[in-house]
Amino acid sequence: MNASSTQSHGRAGTSLRFRELPPSHIDRALDHAALVFHESYEDELRERHRRALLRCDRFGAYEDDHLVGLLAAHRLSLSVPGGRLPCAGLTFVSVTPTHRRRGVLSGLLERLWRHCAASDRPLAALWASETTIYGRYGFGAATALSSIEIDSRRPLALRVTPDPRPLRLVAPAEAPALLAPLHESGLARRAGSPARDPHWWRTQILPEEDEDDDELGPPRVIVLGDGAPAGYAVYRTRGGDDDRTGLVQVDELEADAAPVAAALWSYLASIDLTGTVRAWGRPADDPLLLMAADRDQVRVTAQSPALWLRLVDVRAALTARSWAASADLVLDVRDARIAANHGRFRLVASPGRCTYEATADPADLTLDVRDLAACYLGGTPVTQLVRAGLAAEHAPDAAAAFDAALRTEYLPFTSDEF
């Protein structure tokens, strides 16, 4: 067996091999993914996916020479409290319908963990199509999204006076360079988002067509402020007809101050021939919800988990993030998939320093690695996990002490869907 491949026996007794997928197999991989996701990848879309796969780490499950499973991983740099960490951003996770429930996904993930260890990637993350699948592999929902809808048939009523500086529309081609500094400063405030290069901006944030809704127009970019923008929004529109009002779909909105956000929301809510503003992916602590003067006009229509995070190397992940308060706790971490993470460890954290070492001391807290991942970016309080019966507290106030140390000023967030 080649050192970079692993072999296992499928449940039907056939032999499966998990190995890197070479560039020459990308067309096979795309045919496989189109079959699994009920898509047809042609022309421009196929070319876009081919380029995306070329930039990813790629693993295939092979039965003889047939590709029966695929997993690709973007090489991300994910914002975590106090910095960024290398992260495998999973995509194209797919198994041929004839080979379901034979351990193909499990084998691909085993292969990925080895790759992460070899390439110093302490984190893995994904957007789940079905949330029931990934918890067993140690992924926890680490960021959440709120969908917000504004009734814009009347002027948007806000309790904050909008910044009066002029707004300007800029061409999407200019956007990556212009918007990157503001986006980067947002990454330093909020954990959970990948850093973007111009290719990511073009393909993930500003593609010409919306993959989910072909009635929406191309991306529009509105910017506030001369020179370096103080805020921006990326949005698309659809005209109305007899049955429905025109729609403004907000894909992203960043602002460096509340009056700037107020100006951008007011603009989006005042576009002629539209009557609804729909922002599908906003942080749960979006200030818009507080600045709205009429919460019947600005409604949260859905809340859902967004980024599922896996601490592939718990020690590297914990010692790399910043801490809001000191804590000295023994964590009993349960990890059924990655042995090095499993067991009792003493976490000694303070705002400037963190150590995490194996110990024989009794545990203060017991929790599963998936729940540790849910807490890691500051999105889920450990005290809530204890109340939900998912973590066990063995020493008084251990969960509250851990929460105080994990706390972040802003809730973690990302709308970079990959």
Ligand X SMILES: CC(C)(COP(=O)(O)OP(=O)(O)OC[C@H]1O[C@@H](n2cnc3c(N)ncnc32)[C@H](O)[C@@H]1OP(=O)(O)O)[C@@H](O)C(=O)NCCC(=O)NCCS
| Positions that interact with ligand X (CB under 6 A) | 36, 93-95, 100-106, 126, 128-130, 132-133, 136
Q: Which of 18, 134, 345, 402 is catalytic?
A: 134
Measured from the CB atom, the residue of 24 and 129 that comes closer to ligand X is 129
Query: Nearest distance from residue 100's CB to ligand X, in Å?
Result: 4
DSSP code at position 14: -
Rounded to whole angstroms, how far apart are CA atoms 12 and 31? Answer: 24
Rounded to whole angstroms, how far apart are CA atoms 201 and 194? Answer: 11
Measured from the CB atom, the residue of 102 and 220 that comes closer to ligand X is 102
Rounded to whole angstroms, how far apart are CA atoms 196 and 84? Answer: 12
Beta bridge partners of 61: 18, 69
Query: Nearest distance from residue 133's CB to ligand X, in Å?
Result: 5
Which one, of 188, 205, 129, 87, lies nearest residue 412 by Cα?
A: 188
Measured from the CB atom, the residue of 45 and 400 that comes closer to ligand X is 45
Query: Nearest distance from residue 409's CB to ligand X, in Å?
Result: 31
Query: Nearest distance from residue 207's CB to ligand X, in Å?
Result: 20
Query: Nearest distance from residue 248's CB to ligand X, in Å?
Result: 29
Count the helices and strands in the chain (H runs, E runs).
11, 20
Rounded to whole angstroms, how far apart are CA atoms 105 and 122? Answer: 20
By the 10 Å C-beta count (0-12 exposed, 13-18 middle, 19+ buried), 39 is classed as: middle
Measured from the CB atom, the residue of 100 and 199 that comes closer to ligand X is 100
Q: Which amino acid is at 105?
A: L
Q: Are 124 and 90 in contact (CB under 8 A)?
A: yes
Residue 405 to residues 221, 327, 350, 357: CA-CA distances in angstroms? 38, 6, 8, 17
Largest CA distance in the chain: 70
DSSP code at position 158: B
Measured from the CB atom, the residue of 101 and 273 that comes closer to ligand X is 101
Sign of CA dihedral 312, 316, 320, 325: positive
Measured from the CB atom, the residue of 107 and 379 that comes closer to ligand X is 107
Rounded to whole angstroms, how far apart are CA atoms 185 and 183? Answer: 5
Strand, helix or coil for residue 167: strand
| End-to-end CA separation in angstroms for the chain | 33
- Provide the phi-psi class of 417: left if phi over 0, else alpha when psi is between -120 and 50, else beta: beta
Measured from the CB atom, the residue of 69 and 378 that comes closer to ligand X is 69
Query: Cα 128–134–138 angle (5° rounding)?
Result: 130
Query: Nearest distance from residue 366's CB to ligand X, in Å?
Result: 22
Active site residue 62: no
Active site residue 345: no
Rounded to whole angstroms, how far apart are CA atoms 310 and 372? Answer: 9
Q: Which of 18, 137, 402, 418 is catalytic?
A: 418
Query: Nearest distance from residue 306's CB to ligand X, in Å?
Result: 13
Active site residues: 134, 418
